[in-house]
């Protein structure tokens, strides 16, 4: 039997709690979240956030009477249609889907705060990996460019340029070994 990653367990647990304690039984948002709580593939793409403003697509669910109960957006397009969000989540199964949930005492709900902390940690880890990979690729590109220039200097028998580019390559490789 395969174990469920802790983040999925927390997401499922929170969604069940939220459905039972914050939503009405008879509405589309309840249906959508209930369906989502059993779809592990979709849950893996869900990213809970405390501020959705910078996200490219997602939904805001609110239990406050002054707020819209449900808003789905993708870019500048917004709708209150739950089925649009459902189909977007199902059709684009390789993209993250951001969710902000607003309810009374959200800052004191330990499970939701745990999800938010886990998501922030996940994002930081992904950014660090992306930065490292980008730096590695840039370094390799600089090495390749210097190697081309060294070849050019050799082809044109330009000893001065050869020496300059060879020194630059040594500096670059030395820097890479120390970082």
* CATH classification of the domain holding 79: 3.40.1530.30
Query: pLDDT value at position 3?
Result: 46
Q: What percent of the chain has pLDDT over 70?
A: 96
pLDDT at 20: 93
Domain termination residue (choose one: 108, 138, 164) = 108
Q: Given this model, what pLDDT does residue 6 score?
A: 62
Same domain, 10 and 63: yes
Q: Is residue 13 part of a domain?
A: yes
pLDDT in tens, 107-131: 999 999 999 988 888 778 878 888 8
Torsion of CA 23, 37, 8, 45, to 10 degrees: -100
Under a CB-based contact definition with an 8 Å cutoff, are residues 93 and 41 in contact?
yes
> Is residue 47 within 8 Å of 98, Cβ to Cβ?
yes
Q: Give the range of the structural domain holding residue 52, as residue numbers without chain letter.
A: 6-108
Closest CA to 116 of 95, 127, 102, 131: 102
pLDDT of residue 175: 77
Q: What does the pLDDT average to over 31-49? A: 94
Q: Tell me the C-alpha distance between 149 and 164, whole Å.
A: 10
Among 60, 77, 108, residue at a domain's last position: 108
pTM for this prediction? 0.72
């Amino acid at each position: 039997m395969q174990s469920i990653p802790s983040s999925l367990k927390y997401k499922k647990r929170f969604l069940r709690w939220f459905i039972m304690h914050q939503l009405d039984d008879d509405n589309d948002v309840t249906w959508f979240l209930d369906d989502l709580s059993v779809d592990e593939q979709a849950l893996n793409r869900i990213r809970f956030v405390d501020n959705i403003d910078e996200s490219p697509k997602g939904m805001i669910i609110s239990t406050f009477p002054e707020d819209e109960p449900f808003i789905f957006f993708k870019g500048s397009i917004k709708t209150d249609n739950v089925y649009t969000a459902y189909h977007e989540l199902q059709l684009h199964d390789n993209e993250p889907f951001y969710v902000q949930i607003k309810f009374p005492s959200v800052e004191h709900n330990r499970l939701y705060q745990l999800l938010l902390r886990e998501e922030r940690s996940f994002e930081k880890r992904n950014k660090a990996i992306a930065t490292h990979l980008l730096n590695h690729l840039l370094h390799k590109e600089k090495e390749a460019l210097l190697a081309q220039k060294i070849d050019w200097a050799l082809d044109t028998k330009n000893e001065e340029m050869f020496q300059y580019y060879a020194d630059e390559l040594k500096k670059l490789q030395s820097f890479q070994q120390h970082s």
